[in-house]
């Protein structure tokens, strides 16, 4: 029996042991999906012992994940651990790791590289290794292939290496993990075949492309498409504002065209771990080929400038009321990067808070999904969420609605002395506001 035949047999019988490394917003939903697909041996790896303990106690640190899914997975044998030596017991290894940017907007692959070195002693023949982290084209070939070759393993013969980018949309109930088509590229055709067999057993559709590079580029295109178009509508918002035109009315009207137009809405900037970061992975790699990605970089410049634009609108509105920003009490409504989730990574609301603090404002926030300001590498606020009551909101000089959580009571929000609405959540309300 060949290594390929042995691996496929384990996958087809759901007897493969599947290891998911990184139990964050991508890895945890994936691990639960694998368990729900009928795999009895699923191991989740993470260096955060707190996460591991919560999972063992049938608890979730990600708000939109139903606790019953964790209980069911644990009942079926799901194992959460910090012991990476258990990689030796796996047949499938999936890396769901962060790929941040350095201070100079260059790719930072240290999570991938460090994890691969940790796993290296436990990799073996008859394994499928899949990288899901968003990264630049060539990463799988440059980082994983040399490592397995150092072990005397040959991709496509005795070990199988693929790239299959995550497409998780936290909080989106319409598209859970198993309903989102999975793009896949293999180092060889045999690698792709092994990847198709595994992912085809847990999701409804697998889309195989010609190489890992093509799969890596696909993920970047998806996110760059959004970043560029959001940059466009944000720029249009600033132009429309100067002209006294309601940009949301314009967008809604344009969206009635049944072809050739895709609706994007402006906001206070870009948030999340993908859209604000991923375009720079391509711009960095493109320089290796002497290509300057001016269009992508321009959209990034516009989106990064939106928090400052919002603060400018707030300052002008306070001035109209005879108040200075310095010393004013400002409440930020919503610090998650999008509505109805508890993820504040790269949130423009936090950038707004930092600008306000630097200008002397007294800043507070209210977010029903984030009761305590999260620990972050680049942002520090010793704050807890303010309860959204009429008494509390009337105590602030201005309120900035940065994230349109469905839980916000717009009747209470409307009692603000000054409301700066960044997301058009209060369109049509009977009280006055400043759109930003």
**Predicted local confidence at residue 111, as pLDDT:** 97
| 311 in Cβ contact with 300 (< 8 Å) | no
How long a stretch of residues is the chain? 436
Q: What positions carry a catalytic annotation? A: 274
**Predicted local confidence at residue 429, as pLDDT:** 47
**Predicted local confidence at residue 110, as pLDDT:** 96
**Predicted local confidence at residue 142, as pLDDT:** 97
**Side by side, which strands form the sheet with 434-435?**
362-366, 329-333, 398-401, 419-421, 434-435
**Predicted local confidence at residue 430, as pLDDT:** 43
Q: What are phi and psi of 321, to 5 degrees?
A: -95, 5
Contacts of 61 (CB under 8 A, 6+ apart): 50, 51, 54
Highest CATH level, class, for 305-435: alpha beta
| 176 in Cβ contact with 189 (< 8 Å) | no
Taking phi over 0 as left and psi of -120 to 50 as alpha, with beta for the rest, 346 belongs to left
- Strands (E) in 322-428, as ranges, are 329-333, 362-366, 398-401, 419-421
* Angle at the Cα of 37 from the Cα atoms of 31 and 42, rounded to 5 degrees: 40
Taking alpha carbons only, the member of 400, 395, 398 closest to residue 435 is 400
**Predicted local confidence at residue 270, as pLDDT:** 84
- The domain defined by 3-212 folds into Rossmann fold (3.40.50)
**Predicted local confidence at residue 363, as pLDDT:** 97
Question: What residues of the chain score a pLDDT lower than 70?
Answer: 1, 3, 426-433
**Domain layout of the chain by residue ranges:** 3-212, 305-435
pLDDT tens-digit profile of 304-334?
999 999 999 999 999 999 999 999 999 999 9
Contacts of 82 (CB under 8 A, 6+ apart): 45, 46, 47, 48, 49, 52
For 107, the token pair is 């790719």
* Fold match between domain 3-212 and domain 305-435: yes
């Amino acid at each position: 029996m060949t290594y390929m035949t042995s691996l496929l047999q384990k996958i087809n019988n759901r007897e493969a042991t599947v290891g998911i490394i990184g139990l964050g917003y991508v890895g945890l939903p994936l691990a639960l999906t694998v368990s729900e697909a009928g795999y009895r041996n699923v191991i989740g790896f993470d260096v955060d012992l707190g996460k591991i303990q919560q999972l063992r106690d049938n608890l979730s640190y990600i708000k939109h994940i139903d606790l019953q899914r964790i209980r069911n997975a644990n009942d079926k044998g799901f194992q959460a651990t910090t012991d990476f030596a258990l990689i030796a017991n796996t047949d499938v290894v999936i890396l769901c790791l962060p790929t941040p940017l350095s201070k100079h907007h260059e790719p930072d692959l240290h999570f991938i590289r460090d994890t691969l070195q940790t796993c290296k002693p436990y990799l073996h023949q008859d394994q499928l290794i899949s990288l899901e982290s968003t990264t630049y084209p060539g990463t799988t070939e440059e980082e994983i292939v040399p490592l397995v070759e150092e072990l005397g393993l040959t991709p496509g013969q005795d070990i199988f290496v693929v790239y299959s980018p995550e497409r998780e949309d936290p909080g989106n109930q319409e598209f859970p993990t198993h309903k989102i088509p999975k793009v896949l590229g293999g180092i060889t055709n045999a690698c792709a075949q092994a990847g198709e067999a595994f992912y085809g057993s847990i999701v409804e559709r697998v889309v195989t492309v010609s190489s890992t590079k093509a799969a890596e580029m696909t993920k970047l295109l998806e996110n760059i498409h959004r970043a560029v178009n959001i940059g466009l509508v944000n720029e249009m918002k600033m132009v429309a504002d100067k002209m006294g035109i309601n940009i949301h009315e314009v967008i809604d009207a344009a969206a009635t065209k049944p072809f050739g137009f895709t609706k994007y809405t402006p906001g206070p900037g870009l948030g999340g771990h993908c859209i604000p970061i991923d375009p720079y992975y391509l711009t960095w790699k493109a320089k290796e080929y002497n290509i300057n990605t001016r269009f992508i970089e321009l959209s990034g410049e516009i989106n990064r400038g939106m928090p400052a634009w919002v603060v400018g609108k707030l300052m002008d509105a306070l001035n109209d009321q005879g108040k200075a920003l310095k010393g004013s009490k400002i409440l930020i409504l919503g610090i998650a990067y999008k509505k109805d989730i508890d993820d504040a990574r790269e949130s423009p609301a936090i950038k707004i808070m930092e600008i306000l603090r630097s200008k002397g404002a007294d800043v507070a926030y209210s977010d029903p999904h984030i009761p305590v300001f999260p620990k972050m590498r680049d942002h520090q606020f010793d704050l807890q969420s303010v309860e959204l009551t009429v008494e509390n909101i009337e105590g602030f000089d201005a309120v900035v609605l940065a994230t349109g959580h469905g839980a916000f009571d717009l009747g209470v929000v409307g009692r603000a002395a000054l409301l700066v609405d960044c997301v058009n959540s209060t369109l049509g309300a009977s009280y006055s506001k400043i759109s930003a």
